[in-house]
Amino acid sequence: MKPIRRDPAEIKPWAETCGAIRCIIEEADGAAGEIHHVEIQDAKMHYHKKTDEFYYIIDGQGKMILDEEEIELHKGVVVYLPRGVKQQSRGKTHGAHHLHPTRCAPRRT
């Protein structure tokens, strides 16, 4: 496998429960995980049955509800969400990175 370099600005976003998503590295690339550039604004409450997630906030601020706990989000914060945790982001976080580890759990939502 060769190294992969992608610029989120060159990838067209698509709408998802969390907001506008750009798939930067995906399962088809054969990498150890997936990285999505996500622009979140007031996401719907949801959870993933078979996927763990990591969020790295690169800009913006807001709050995230995890099951029934509310946490603050701002630039530089990292959040790990094990599968099954109910989640909802409030406010606006620009460019949150979102990782689905495909070797730990296949990408299924």
Q: What's the pLDDT score for residue 82?
A: 92
Q: What's the pLDDT score for residue 102?
A: 38
Task: Report if residue 109 sits inside a domain.
Answer: no
Q: What's the pLDDT score for residue 42?
A: 78
Number of C-beta neighbours around residue 53 at 10 A: 21
SS3 track for the chain:
CCCCCCCHHHCCCEEECCEEEEEEECHHHCCCCEEEEEEEECCCCECCCCCCEEEECCCCEEEEEECCEEEEEECCCEEEECCCCCEEEEEEEEEEEEEECCCCCCCCC
Does pLDDT of 107 surpass 70? Answer: no
Task: Report if residue 72 sits inside a domain.
Answer: yes
Model confidence band, residue 5 (pLDDT cutoffs 50, 70, 90): very high
Task: Report if residue 30 sits inside a domain.
Answer: yes
Task: Report if residue 78 sits inside a domain.
Answer: yes
Does pLDDT of 104 surpass 50? Answer: no
10-69 tens-digit pLDDT: 999 988 877 788 888 888 998 888 888 888 877 889 998 988 888 888 888 889 999 989
Task: Report if residue 105 sits inside a domain.
Answer: no
Does pLDDT of 97 surpass 60? Answer: no
Task: Report if residue 73 sits inside a domain.
Answer: yes
Tell me which residue range forms the domain holding 21: 15-99
Q: Note whether 89 and 64 are within 8 A (CB).
A: yes
62-96 tens-digit pLDDT: 899 999 899 998 888 889 999 999 999 888 775 55
Q: Note whether 60 and 90 are within 8 A (CB).
A: no
| Cα distances (angstroms) measured from residue 87 to each of 56, 57, 70 | 15, 15, 10
Structure pTM? Answer: 0.77
Task: Report if residue 104 sits inside a domain.
Answer: no
CATH code, 26: 2.60.120.10
